[in-house]
Structure 1
Amino acid sequence: MNTATQMFVLCLLLLSTSFCLAEPPSRADSASTAVCLPGTEQVKLNSQEGLEYRILIAKPEQPAPEVGYRLLVLLDGHSNFPAAVTLYRMQQRASELAPTIIVGVGYPSESRIDMPRRTFDLTPPAELEKLPPRRGGSGWPKHGGADQFITFLKDELKPWLHQRYSLDPTQEAIFGHSFGGLFVMHCLANAPESFDDYIAASPSLWWNDYAIGNPQEWITNKWLGKKTRLLITVGGQELGEDGGPASLLAPTPAKKTFGNIRQFAERIQHLQTDGVPVQYKEFPGENHGSVTPLAINEALRFALQRNNTSMSRE
């Protein structure tokens, strides 16, 4: 993607970081109304554990194909859903992307980032001494609910969506950035049957002293025969050692073995077997925040292009 295209995508993110932007009052009427993202809805859904979620849904205009719509689930819904829907619609009109139900999983606060809730949902259990200090010196929020969240997505949200829409059960993807990327990798390593395509953007694999483990083990034990695909993306500026929470961790053996995201992805690629294709995309010059819209756009192409139905799945 060239520089002009990157700037364009970044602008899209800025324009779509919220569903409702305040409309300036006209001279004729001082009252203001919300400007909302058309063709979307927000539904309250409670988990069996009693946790409340806001499910953000965008449905294509065209009817479902015979096999059903594809499904793309976005973590941190209030942050990632607007940009994903905007980018999808621009490309889908040119018939580049298959008809897809896009779903964002958000929280009642409707904040762009709900740090307490996402920290619990998106992280596996961790020992506090294996976590870096947080900025500002505050302690870590309650964490370690990733397995519970997998159960919600797999056994509650997805069946609920299948009741409402005609969905292709062989074309279901999940996208997460940062802690969301960590969750995507954790889900893939422990419950690969949950989705077909996994997109981990800038995954926070430093969590719990790089406890994601040896990819050799979970590829061999869990992936074989699943016809699962993985895309890992990262900003070029994230690969250094002088920034982010990982820079505050002690140089443990696990940290030295892990290296950086690029090296981790290369190790997985070297372990590829039939049915376990892995792609890696690096965006030079981008940091942990600026890379997000580029990662979303790459995720759309990876999971939703019409010609990927059989690509690397046979």
Structure 2
Amino acid sequence: MKPFSLFIVLCCLAGSTLAAPASYVLENTEVRDIRAQALKRDYQLYVALPDSYRQGNKRYPVLFVVDANYSFPIVRNIAQRLNKHAGMEEVIVVGLSYANGDGGVYSRRRDYTPTTPRKHDYRSDMPGRQPAFGEAKAYGQFISGEVFPFIAQQYRVNMQRKVFIGHSYGSLLGLQFLLTQPRTFEHYILGSPSLWYDAGVMFEREQAYAASHKDLPASVFFGIGGLEKLAAGKKRSRSEEDADMVADLREFDGKLKSRKFPGLTTRLRVFEDEDHASVFPFVLTHGLRAYLTSAK
């Protein structure tokens, strides 16, 4: 081998032993492991603390956001930006991860959906495991019964000012709370809920709730992209393929308003030119503004 070639090889070998670049870490964030005892699964909580957290004894509103693998940094960063540049009060953000060892699609289908669809042809994203559905009630009990006490014990949160944040299937989980235990959260931010799921089962749940209750004490902000509608020429139905999500959400919000529940406040915003993938930051920003006050 020529000396120059040998030099190149040695340099490459030396370079391969260098330490990998450091990961980017969000400031004032923590990761906590938590066991869901009844579910016999392990999860993580991603916690973002406000800049002033170490400076006093203040208790902060707390935002609980599902699909945290995607949404946690978005919620954390937008909440901080609204505080610094728009005067909104500071918050603590708690992101709920997917179950350890589960694929994201598998975990959210199981944990966020209210039922097993009566008709479906879904495939699992986890080889060797059939897709799972319909554990929203049990997962919700994990949040209220285990996550809440843990967060209340470990952090200075105001548990009288809890906000639920979800999108798509995550909003189905929010509706599960809303139509069973609405006081679990003081405010709900629900983006692009998959109301077509299981042939529109949440419309059935809403009707059943209204038939047996005189009030629904909750504050809800609904948001959706204006492009989440049915393509021209197609007939709307309660199926994923033929769903008009904008029309579905307008119908659902209209039904809630028609009940005239004295304790219910809902707001609906359609963000034109946004689709299912792009709308979440807009829903979040306006949903926070609908609840959080300006910093004093």
**Scaled by the length of structure 2, what TM-score is found?**
0.80
Q: Offset of 1:286 from its aligned partner?
A: 1.1
Question: Which SS does the other structure have where 2:288 is aligned?
Answer: helix
Aligned match of 1:78:
69
1:218 aligns with 2:209: yes
Q: Partner of 2:30 in structure 1?
A: 41
Contact preservation (8 Å) 1:122, 1:182: yes
Q: Distance in 2 between matches of 1:175 and 1:50?
A: 24
Could you say if the C-alpha distance between residues 306 and 222 of structure 1 is closer, same or farther in structure 2, counting changes exceeding 3 Å? farther
Q: Which residue of 2 aligns with 1:92?
A: 83
- Cα distance in structure 1, aligned partners of 2:42 and 2:58: 31
Deviations 1:186-241 (A, max 9, x none): 11001112111111110011111111126354257457273x20111111111225
- The Cα of 1:279 is off from its aligned counterpart by 0.6
Is the 8 Å Cα contact of residues 76 and 104 (structure 1) preserved in structure 2?
A: yes
The yes-or-no answer on 1:116 pairing with 2:106 is yes
C-alpha distance in 2 between matches for 1:262 and 1:286: 16
Equivalent residue of 2:43, what SS? strand
Aligned to 1:8: none
Asked whether the equivalents of residues 269 and 279 of structure 1 are also in contact (C-alpha less than 8 Å), the reply is no
Q: Which of 265, 270, 273 is residue 277 of structure 1 equivalent to?
A: 265
Deviation, 1:127, is 3.8
Q: What code does the residue aligned with 1:203 have?
A: P
Q: Is the 8 A contact 1:216 1:271 kept in 2?
A: no
Counterpart CA distance in 2 for 1:154 and 1:291 is: 28
Task: Name 1:197's counterpart in structure 2.
Answer: 187
Give a deviation string over 1:121-150, Cα, whole Å, max 9, x none.
000122432x4x448999971011101011
Confirm or deny: 8 A CA contact 1:192 1:223 kept in the other structure: no
**Aligned residue-pair number:** 270
1:190–1:222 contact (8 Å) kept in structure 2: no
Please report how far the alpha carbon of residue 59 of structure 1 lies from its aligned counterpart in structure 2 after TM superposition. Answer: 0.9
SS of the aligned residue for 1:238 comes to coil
Aligned twin of 2:239 = 246
Asked if 1:128 corresponds to 2:118, the answer is yes
C-alpha distance 295-259 of structure 1, shift in aligned 2 (>3 A)? closer
2:291 matches 1:303: yes
Change (3 A) 1:149 1:94: same
> Counterpart in 1 of 2:137?
147
Q: Deviations over 1:28-55 (max 9, x none)?
A: x774111111111111111112211110
Alpha-carbon contact 1:189-1:219 (below 8 Å) kept: no
Q: Identical aligned pairs, as a percentage?
A: 23
The one-letter amino acid of 1:286's match is: E
TM-score calculated relative to the size of structure 1:
0.75
Equivalent residue, structure 2, for 1:68: 59
Match of 1:268 among 229, 232, 256: 256
Q: Distance in 1 between matches of 2:123 and 2:76?
A: 32
Cα distance in structure 2, aligned partners of 1:219 and 1:94 = 41
**Counterpart of 1:17?**
none
Task: Compare 146-155 and 285-294 and name the one that shifted more.
Answer: 285-294
Which secondary structure state, in structure 2, belongs to the residue aligned with residue 85 of structure 1? helix
**What CA deviation, in whole Å up to 9, does each residue of 1:1-30 have, x standing for no partner?**
xxxxxxxxxxxxxxxxxxxxxxxxxxxx77
SS of equivalent residue, structure 2 residue 276: coil
Tell me, yes or no, if the aligned pair for 2:166 and 2:189 is still in contact at 8 Å.
Answer: yes
d(CA) in 1 for partners of 2:32, 2:247:
41
